[in-house]
């Protein structure tokens, strides 16, 4: 048996790989602002990818309003490179804030932050109820950008998403709403889950995965409903 190698091709591939490495080390120059697609609207900030940098960087010093300390290094790097500076929120109202608001805390943390500011459990509970109805967004500065929109909890929470998906699947049919796997919320759906898991059990058999036509055991994923961790 003979092995024939085209050294010309090997050299060509080595050159291509070298050029790719050189291109990977080059930074792409981008503008700091990009125009809006809408008429009579101010430009938007052009966020940088890891291999990008601004052609002419201007320190914008835009407040990045936070309820709690951010520990995500990628997020911090992305925001600070774009010209934002971290600023802790010290007021229960968004009406006096400018810049960007990072609103990504759960209800328990929000209540504790309200309690810390107001020193009143009753007032903190009242403010929390207002947030649930998105009343805190009604008096925001028009120039503020916020990452929370009214009604998004119904699709951001895993249990709410599954519940709404079942409602729409029943209303519009399974052909249109078949993109969420079978989901049960605990503890209210515990009995239905146990029935489904019992039906899905496979009889014991040696080397079950090697038996032709035998389905593999059903796998279930358990996730928290509202922790925004992707775990």
- Asked whether the CA dihedral 228, 130, 96, 150 is positive or negative, the reply is positive
Torsion of CA 193, 195, 199, 201, to 10 degrees: 60
The residue that leads in pLDDT, 109 or 106, is 109
User: What is the dihedral angle through the alpha carbons of 50, 51, 52, 58, rounded to the nearest 10 degrees?
Assistant: 60
Query: What is the average per-residue pLDDT within 7-34?
Result: 63
pTM for the whole thing?
0.58
pLDDT, tens only, 126-180: 888 888 777 778 888 888 888 877 767 677 777 788 888 889 888 998 888 888 7
| Model pLDDT, residue 22 | 55
Q: Is the Cβ–Cβ distance between 113 and 105 less than 8 Å?
A: yes
- E strand spans, the chain: 28-30, 33-34, 44-45, 52-54, 62-66, 84-88, 100-102, 145-146
Dist. CA 84–CA 173, nearest whole Å: 46
- What is the model's pLDDT at position 6? 33
pLDDT at 215 over 70: no
Which is nearest to 225 in space by CA: 170, 166, 163?
163
Q: Is it the case that residue 5 has pLDDT exceeding 50?
A: no
Q: Which residue has the higher pLDDT, 4 or 136?
A: 136
Average pLDDT, whole number, for the chain?
77
**Distance in angstroms (rounded) separating the CA atoms of residues 80 and 54:** 13
Token representation of residue 197 = 């898991």
Residue 3 clears pLDDT 90, i.e. is over it: no
Predicted confidence (pLDDT) per residue in 22-62, tens digit: 556 678 999 988 888 888 888 888 888 888 889 888 888 89
The percent of residues in the chain predicted with pLDDT above 70, rounded, is 76
């Amino acid at each position: 048996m003979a092995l024939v190698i085209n050294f010309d091709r090997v050299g060509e591939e080595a050159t291509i790989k070298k050029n790719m490495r050189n291109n990977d080390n080059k930074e792409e120059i981008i503008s700091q602002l990009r125009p809006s697609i809408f008429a009579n609207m101010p430009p938007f900030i052009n966020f940088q990818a890891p291999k990008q940098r601004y052609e002419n960087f201007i320190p914008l010093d835009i407040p990045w309003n936070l309820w709690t300390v951010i520990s995500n290094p990628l997020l911090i790097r992305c925001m600070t490179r774009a010209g934002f500076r971290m600023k802790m929120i010290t007021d229960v109202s968004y009406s006096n804030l400018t810049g960007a608001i990072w609103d990504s805390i759960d209800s328990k943390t929000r209540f504790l932050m309200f309690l810390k500011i107001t020193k009143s459990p009753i007032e903190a509970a009242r403010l929390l109820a207002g947030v649930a109805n998105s009343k805190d967004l009604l008096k925001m500065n028009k120039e503020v950008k916020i990452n929370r929109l009214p009604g998004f909890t119904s699709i951001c929470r895993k249990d709410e998403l599954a519940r709404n998906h079942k409602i729409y699947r029943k209303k519009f049919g399974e052909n249109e709403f078949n993109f969420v796997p079978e989901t049960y919320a605990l503890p209210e759906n515990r009995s239905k889950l146990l029935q489904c898991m019992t039906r899905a059990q496979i009889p014991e058999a040696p080397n079950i995965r090697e038996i032709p036509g035998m389905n593999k055991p059903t796998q279930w994923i358990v996730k928290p409903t509202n922790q925004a961790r992707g775990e």
